[in-house]
């Protein structure tokens, strides 16, 4: 039986030790989910909605406890962690409205009528990364449950605590949470024929293996993968606003964010002014003890990940300026701005997944779009301009799934979320998300005598 010790990334102290599930434990959970599936799909839609609202209320009464677990086990700033726990409640409440709205169609046909039904796909395997343990868990499980499926979820090895606790608050059997290794529990969910859909969020590399595994069983799969998104600042933008918000588009969650806008593209004529405004904004990011209410950025998740991030800023790297980070124990890394950077610099081409951003000038709109699209990824992006026509033109031209104009915000649970190109396959969230957890059944009823 393998054990895993969760470390507090801000102190390097052990938080707790968990037993990791084995392949046999995963099979047993799949067996329980299959039994629960028969009961859950038979629950009347209104009653299922009520049970989801009860689940949301249970999460709501544990927001402080869940936030505390995320501060200790993931190093998230406490304000962010409280928001994340509240977000789980909100996502459950939003999807609690959908069981009664899984409405089929009536299609005109000669000799009778044709109706469609949305049937649950069955059992869903949910595989979650370590960067946003609560939100990403909620985005998969809430619409899956609302559509009448059961869920077996595997949190990331490094950050299992909040998902395990939320699983304890759920209806038994309907949602099960199995902490364990990706290569054991995750792989078993992919390989087990009774699991009918995989919702995977993580790296593009593992996502590609998961997709190949699902192909063997013709299993449905949603992939939410990596990103290398651009924040495009035009000369006609409100530069103060663009510079003040840019740190939060990339340094939130210490840059461990698939939507991090880690390439800032600035029109050349305002580059110097932008950098003048950007420097105090970066230095003003409050980096420190995640448990203290004013903290905006905490540590990186692990020593290994800090080493990975630091490799993008070798000695002699073009550091324009940096924010601060505490000394002493903890996996700290300061917000770091690189400029000017070469187009072949790995910090410019690869997903760093840490608080490192590059700044690159461009001359005109066409060049901004070309640079923004010069990446295998396409997840997020921001555009700052005062020209509405340009905002829409550029938003349509950038090959990415989620964009914001004159704002750094990215994900909203009531709008669809997902990536272009190697950033993913399929969409989560938004009003149609439960449909992706159903199969459409088409029934012809003869009416001729
Ligand atoms: P990862 O790919 O290493 O792991 C993700 C999950 O997959 C973990 O739970 C892991 O245990 C599991 N896993 C590993 N091997 C597996 C296998 N063979 N079969 C099944 N499951 C397996 O990613 P990570 O390091 O945890 O997360 C960081 C990555 O996630 C970044 O690339 C980031 O951009 C991406 N991400 C994407 C989104 C999005 O919505 N697009 C959101 C958050 C993170």
Residue nearest to atom 19 of ligand 1 (CA): 187
CA separation for the pair 329, 352 (Å, rounded) = 22
Confidence band for 57, pLDDT divided at 50, 70 and 90: very high
Is 214 part of the annotated catalytic residue set?
A: no
Contact 6, 15 (CB under 8 A): yes
- % of the chain exceeding 90 in pLDDT: 98
The residue-averaged pLDDT of 88-95 equals 98
The residue-averaged pLDDT of 414-420 equals 97
Q: What pLDDT was estimated at residue 59?
A: 98
φ/ψ of residue 293, rounded to 5: -60, -30
DSSP bridge pairs for 420:
378
The residue-averaged pLDDT of 376-397 equals 98
Confidence band for 410, pLDDT divided at 50, 70 and 90: confident
Confidence band for 376, pLDDT divided at 50, 70 and 90: very high
In order, the DSSP letters of 116-184 are: EEEEE--EEEEE--SSSHHHHHHHHHHHHHHTT-EEEEE--TT--HHHHHHHHHSPTTTEEE----III
Residue nearest to atom 43 of ligand 1 (CA): 258
Which ligand 1 atom is at minimum distance from the Cα of 202? 30
Closest C-alpha among 181, 186, 121, 183 to residue 153: 186
Strands 220-224 and 377-378: what pairing? Answer: unpaired
Closest C-alpha among 199, 201, 81 to residue 143: 199
The residue-averaged pLDDT of 25-33 equals 98
- % of the chain exceeding 70 in pLDDT: 100
Q: What pLDDT was estimated at residue 201?
A: 98
Is the overall model pTM greater than 0.85, yes or no?
yes
Contact 283, 299 (CB under 8 A): no
Q: What pLDDT was estimated at residue 409?
A: 86
Q: What is the mean pLDDT of the chain?
A: 97
Query: Three-state SS for 19?
Result: strand
Per-residue CA distances from 293 to 132, 326, 355 (Å): 19, 16, 20
Cα–ligand 1 centroid distance for 177 (angstroms): 16
Confidence band for 43, pLDDT divided at 50, 70 and 90: very high
CA separation for the pair 88, 71 (Å, rounded) = 16
Q: What pLDDT was estimated at residue 360?
A: 98
Residues in the chain: 449
Residues with CB under 6 A from ligand 1: 127-132, 136, 154, 156-157, 182-183, 186-187, 190, 201-203, 206, 209-210, 224-227, 258, 351, 353, 379, 419, 423-424
Is residue 1 scored above 80 in pLDDT?
no
The residue-averaged pLDDT of 386-411 equals 96
Is residue 278 scored above 80 in pLDDT?
yes
Listed in sequence order, the DSSP H helices in 195-270 are 204-216, 239-250
The residue-averaged pLDDT of 174-178 equals 98
Q: Return the structure tokens found at 262.
A: 């880690």
In order, the DSSP letters of 391-440 are: HHHHHHHS--S--EES------TTS-B--EETTEES-BSSTTGGGGGEEE
Closest C-alpha among 187, 186, 228 to residue 204: 228
Q: What pLDDT was estimated at residue 172?
A: 86
Residues 6+ apart with CB under 8 A from 288: 295, 298, 326
DSSP 201: E
CA separation for the pair 127, 295 (Å, rounded) = 29
Q: What angle do CA 78, 82, 87 make, to 5 degrees?
A: 145
Count Cβ atoms within 10 A of the Cβ of residue 396 and give its class: 0-12 exposed, 13-18 middle, 19 or more buried.
exposed
Cα–ligand 1 centroid distance for 390 (angstroms): 35
Q: What angle do CA 159, 147, 437 make, to 5 degrees?
A: 70
Is 65 part of the annotated catalytic residue set?
A: no
In order, the DSSP letters of 333-344 are: ---EEE-S--TT
Is residue 171 scored above 90 in pLDDT?
no
Count Cβ atoms within 10 A of the Cβ of residue 225 and give its class: 0-12 exposed, 13-18 middle, 19 or more buried.
buried
Is residue 444 scored above 80 in pLDDT?
yes
φ/ψ of residue 39, rounded to 5: -70, -45
Cα–ligand 1 centroid distance for 206 (angstroms): 7
Instruction: Give the residue carrying structure tokens 């997020």.
Output: 380
Residues 6+ apart with CB under 8 A from 171: 36, 40, 51, 55
Cα–ligand 1 centroid distance for 201 (angstroms): 5
The residue-averaged pLDDT of 302-323 equals 98
Cα–ligand 1 centroid distance for 55 (angstroms): 26
Instruction: Give the residue carrying structure tokens 């923004």.
Output: 372
Confidence band for 394, pLDDT divided at 50, 70 and 90: very high
Closest C-alpha among 360, 430, 366 to residue 398: 366
Residues 6+ apart with CB under 8 A from 105: 115, 116
The number of beta carbons lying within 10 Å of the beta carbon of residue 421 is: 17
Contact 162, 73 (CB under 8 A): yes
CA separation for the pair 222, 232 (Å, rounded) = 29
Order the strands of the 150-154 sheet from edge to edge.
175-177, 150-154, 123-127, 195-201, 220-224, 424-425
136-149 pLDDT per residue, tens = 999 999 999 999 99
Among 70, 84, 157, 224, the active-site one is 224
The residue-averaged pLDDT of 265-278 equals 98
Which ligand 1 atom is at minimum distance from the Cα of 224? 41
Q: What pLDDT was estimated at residue 383?
A: 98
Q: What pLDDT was estimated at residue 179?
A: 98
């Amino acid at each position: 039986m393998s054990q895993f010790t969760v470390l507090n990334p801000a102190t390097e102290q052990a938080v707790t030790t968990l037993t990791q599930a084995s392949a046999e434990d995963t099979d047993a959970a799949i067996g329980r989910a299959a039994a629960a599936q028969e009961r859950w799909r038979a629950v009347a839609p209104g009653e299922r909605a009520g049970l989801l609202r009860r689940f949301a209320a249970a999460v709501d009464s544990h927001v402080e406890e869940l936030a505390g677990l995320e501060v200790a086990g993931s190093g998230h700033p406490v304000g962010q962690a409280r928001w994340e726990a509240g977000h789980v409640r909100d996502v459950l409440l939003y999807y609690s409205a959908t069981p009664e709205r899984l409405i089929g169609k009536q299609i005109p046909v000669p000799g009778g009528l044709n109706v469609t039904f949305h049937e649950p796909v069955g059992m869903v395997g949910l595989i979650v990364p370590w960067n946003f343990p609560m939100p990403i868990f909620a985005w998969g499980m809430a619409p899956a449950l609302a559509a009448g499926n059961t869920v077996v979820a595997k949190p990331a090895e490094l950050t299992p605590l909040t998902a395990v606790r939320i699983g304890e608050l759920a209806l038994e059997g309907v949602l099960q949470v199995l902490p364990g290794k990706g290569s054991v529990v995750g792989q078993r969910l992919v390989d087990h024929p009774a699991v009918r859909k995989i919702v995977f969020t993580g790296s593009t590399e593992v996502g590609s293996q998961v997709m190949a595994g699902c192909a063997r069983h013709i299993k449905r799969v949603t992939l939410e993968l990596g990103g290398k998104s651009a924040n495009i600042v035009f000369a006609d933008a409100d530069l103060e606003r663009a510079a003040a918000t840019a740190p939060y588009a990339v340094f939130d969650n210490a840059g461990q964010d698939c939507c991090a806008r880690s390439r800032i593209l600035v029109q050349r004529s305002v580059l110097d002014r932008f950098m003048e405004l950007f420097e105090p904004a970066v230095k003003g990011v409050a980096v420190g003890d995640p448990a203290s209410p004013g903290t905006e950025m905490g540590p990186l998740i692990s020593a290994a990940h800090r080493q990975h991030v630091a490799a993008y800023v070798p000695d002699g790297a073009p550091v324009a300026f940096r924010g601060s980070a505490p000394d002493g124990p903890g996996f700290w890394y300061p917000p770091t701005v690189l400029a000017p950077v070469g187009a072949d610099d790995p910090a410019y081409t690869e997903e760093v997944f840490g608080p490192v951003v590059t700044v690159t000038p461009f001359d005109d709109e066409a060049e901004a779009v070309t640079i923004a699209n010069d990446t295998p990824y396409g997840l997020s992006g921001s555009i700052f301009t005062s020209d509405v026509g340009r905002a829409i033109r550029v938003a349509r031209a950038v090959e990415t799934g989620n964009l914001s104009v004159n704002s750094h915000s990215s994900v909203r649970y009531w709008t669809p979320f997902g990536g272009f190109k190697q950033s993913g396959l399929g969409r989560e969230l938004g009003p149609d998300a439960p449909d992706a957890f159903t199969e459409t059944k088409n029934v012809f009823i003869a009416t001729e005598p």
